[in-house]
Structure 1
Amino acid sequence: LEIAPDKIKARGRLRPGKMLMVDTKTGRIFSDDELKKTLAEAFPYRNWLNKNCSNLEEISSGRSVNNEIPNLNTLLTAFGYSEEDIENLIVPMANEGKEPVSSMGNDASLALFSRKPQRLFNYFRQQFAQVTNPPIDPIREELVMSLTGYLGAIHQNLLDEIPRLSKIVKVKSPILTNTQFDILLNLRYKGFSTAVLPMLFNPEEGADGLKKAIGELCLLVERAVDEGKNYIVLSDRGVDKNHAPIPSLLAVSAVHHYLVEKRKRIQIDIVVESAEPREVMHFALLFGFGANAINPYLAFGVLAKKVKTGDIQLDFETAKKNYIKSVNKGLLKVLSKMGNSTLRSYRGAHIFEAIG
């Protein structure tokens, strides 16, 4: 189109992150600044967040939380911890705040070829973006990387702009300490409520007992949704000779898919309290199949014992922070393999292949 210069009011192009709206009814063109200002001032969003949103790191608790586990050795055996897991993985992560350095690639045999029992995690491999350049660099592009999440179901239409939608708990790291988990478990003010559901089954009933327990767990979760709970806790505490743990990955994925089929997944958040996850890929798999936050209480129990015996020359708080830091850095690295910059876009993505 040829337009006379005296009729052109502005020149330019639509830049990244900018918007332009044409209202055909009124014949107006809204610029980026005007459009964003109109939307931002439509409702008192800041007041809603200040009143309803809680930051988990800013919530204090007078409750005493014990990080030591009395039956530690029994649980280590029950959840398949090896000496290598502790000495070559957990301890270095607590000491250095990063994953142990290892050779490139994985030359271990596939889990399905092993004659020994394998953790469910071991059967999965994450897909990756097959491009010449890295999809995203979690170090140089740290500005756009985030593990921040929000807990608290809303039970409302997301398209309704109402204050109740901002009743959430902000979680900076998805790896919850025992103290943070205790706070979430007992958070009652502002109307928060939760339900703790067991990830356990009777080992004497074998595979049928496992299948039955998973079915019952899904029904309990649906009931919690219908009762208006803000988030549920799937816990494998209470393991003994009569109660075996359901693999956390199996329980989380079963609950996630069940709620998706019932069209209720968006109405509840899933917090996992499990002794099973201890390395980065375990956490990544749980998030990839629907978990919102994880409390690896047995890993913290190992740290508490190692600090007490002097095997870790740090105080427990420092060792715990280093361990969480190493997991967080590892998660960012895993996210970047598929070009994801936030954990919220990675959650429930199912970008894994199961071999066997």
Structure 2
Amino acid sequence: KGMMLAEQVAEFYPDLMDERFESAFALYHQRYSTNTFPQWWLAQPFRMLAHNGEINTVKGNINWMKSHEIRMASSAFGDTAEDIKPIVTPGSSDSAALDSVFEVLVRAGRSAPMAKTMLVPESWSKQAVELPEAWRDMYSYCNAVMEPWDGPAALAMTDGRWVCGGLDRNGLRPMRYVVTGDGMLIAGSETGMVPSDEATVVEKGALGPGQMIAVDMKKGLLFHDTEIKDKLARALPFGDWVNSVRDLAEESDALTETALFSGEELRKRQVAAGYSIEELEQVLAPMAEDGKEVLASMGDDTPSAVLSEKYRPLSHFFRQNFSQVTNPPIDSLREYRVMSLKTRFGNLKNVLDESNAQTQILQLESPFVGNAQFDNLVKHFADGLAQIDCTFPVGGVGGLQAALERVRAEAEDAVASGATHIVLSDMAQSEDLVAMPMILATSAVHSWLTRKGLRTFCSINVRSAECIDPHYFAVLIGCGATTVNAYLAEDSLADRIDRGLL
């Protein structure tokens, strides 16, 4: 590896030209830096992995990894367990971060193909009919243990015994392979990158979305996608383990939704949350009628919050993070097949472990829950529930700051005392109490618990009046919310239905 042209590698490393230097495999990556500044220590391949593409979810993945570190334990590391933290070195590129986590999974005992399956799984929940049940159980287990690292990715990796290549669930980067007559596998982003005798080629092919190809160097065996996944799915009793996952989807779908506020009380709360007629009619109503987000131009000609006479919610400050390199657009039909809002919550266990303790969690099909669904969730939370009021007194200076510190402290105390589910709510707002922006409250609790190493012990469930559009939902989830109940938006829809406007 190095910051150089391809032909300079052999001159820089003279041992590569030495006849005595032998290896059964080689990982090679020639690229220029797209999302990070070119530096020696970020040259690829890394310790175990080379990656072409980018990890779009890297910020969230790194934060979750920080949260997992507190519970990360493996007999493989013995007395040096604390020396390997932080797992991801600050300043790493997305590829370097992925390599660090891949390495820790492998060093703790997982094989390279299993580590790839955990980190970059194929899409499985919407394709359940087509996949073998053993595979679905394995992916369900992976989903319970680890957050997927998502984005366009062609990966080449090794743990010393296994050498494998694989793609992300969308297949947004190419990987082609050739198997030669003298027992060599050549795989890479394009055909013909290694000259081979066409007359002796046994097989040619390309990996599809989420697929893998692997070689067991110890036994000298080649495994295609189906063979390696069958082998992984048989290795552990995933089917028995995933029976511990409690799926609340069927139960919550059967509930009848009810409004919490109506009439004059609803009007007051709508004004307090900053709702406008425009939002009710042009943002909320189309979503209820068509189940689609409202279409609008990309421009924003409203005055910025600091200059505006009207209140602008904190969500307007955030804009979508998008990729710096070109990816094909994903249409709604393809999106349905490869994207899922499946949400897990509860007390997340040690990611380096392999046991049914990791699957003792609750699961929903979506993080967005209605009023009746939220009440039902609270029943399931039972004794592990802690409710925190997210309002602060009217008037005075520094009220919001003090309230945020109170909310953080209450959350920390609750989790330290054994709470596994936190509910943050602004429903107590009144003439004397102002609701704090729930984005602030959520991120304050999430980042504080992450810093204290407590985030994986609990879920954060948010009841927000201000949340009215998909962007606000997305910002809340991005700030660390596990589930979101937009109770006032739902009540506003119920009111419009009662008045015959919907």
TM range (shorter): 0.7 to 0.9
User: 8 Å contact 1:187–1:193 — kept in the other structure?
Assistant: no
Aligned to 1:112: 306
Separation of aligned partners in 2, 1:230 and 1:63: 24
SS in 1 for 2:212: coil
Separation of aligned partners in 2, 1:36 and 1:220: 45
Separation of aligned partners in 1, 2:307 and 2:492: 30
Q: Within the alignment, does 1:159 sit opposite 2:349 as a pair?
A: no
Aligned to 1:48: 241
Unaligned segments of structure 2, at least 5 residues: 1-23, 25-179, 185-200
Q: Alpha-carbon deviations, 1:22-70, whole Å to 9, x = none?
A: 354xx454624554334323332222222x2122222269998641404
Q: Within the alignment, does 1:264 sit opposite 2:454 as a pair?
A: yes
Aligned to 2:439: 249
Aligned to 1:194: 385
Separation of aligned partners in 2, 1:142 and 1:149: 16
Separation of aligned partners in 1, 2:280 and 2:181: 73
1:226 to 416, 440, 452: 416
SS in 1 for 2:278: helix
CA-CA distance at 1:204 after TM superposition: 2.8
Separation of aligned partners in 2, 1:44 and 1:129: 38
SS in 1 for 2:372: helix
Aligned to 1:57: 249
TM, length-normalised to structure 1 = 0.76
Aligned to 2:374: 181
Q: Within the alignment, does 1:237 sit opposite 2:427 as a pair?
A: yes
TM, length-normalised to structure 2 = 0.55
- Give aligned-pair identity as a percent: 35
Larger Rg: 2
Q: Alpha-carbon deviations, 1:255-278, whole Å to 9, x = none?
A: 111122112222222111111110
User: 8 Å contact 1:56–1:170 — kept in the other structure?
Assistant: yes
SS in 2 for 1:125: coil
Q: Alpha-carbon deviations, 1:77-136, whole Å to 9, x = none?
A: 111111111122212221222223333432223223213332222222223224455554
User: 8 Å contact 1:193–1:229 — kept in the other structure?
Assistant: yes
How many equivalent residue pairs? 304
Q: Alpha-carbon deviations, 1:235-290, whole Å to 9, x = none?
A: 11111122211100111111111122112222222111111110111111111211
Partner amino acid, structure 1, of 2:288: A
Aligned to 2:495: 305
**C-alpha RMSD of matched pairs (Å):** 3.0
User: 8 Å contact 1:147–1:174 — kept in the other structure?
Assistant: yes
- Equivalences for 1:1-356 in 2 at 5 Å? 15-16=207-208, 17-24=211-218, 27-29=219-221, 31-32=223-224, 33-50=226-243, 52-59=244-251, 66-70=258-262, 71-131=265-325, 134=328, 136-154=330-348, 156-188=349-381, 193-206=384-397, 208-312=398-502
**CA shift in 2, pair 1:103/1:36, >3 Å:** closer
- Say which is worse superposed, 232-241 or 258-267, in terms of deviation: 258-267
User: 8 Å contact 1:198–1:234 — kept in the other structure?
Assistant: yes
Partner amino acid, structure 2, of 1:257: S
Partner amino acid, structure 1, of 2:402: K
Greater RCO (CA < 8 Å, at least 6 residues apart): 1
- Say which is worse superposed, 104-113 or 261-270, in terms of deviation: 104-113
Aligned to 1:343: none
Unaligned segments of structure 1, at least 5 residues: 313-356
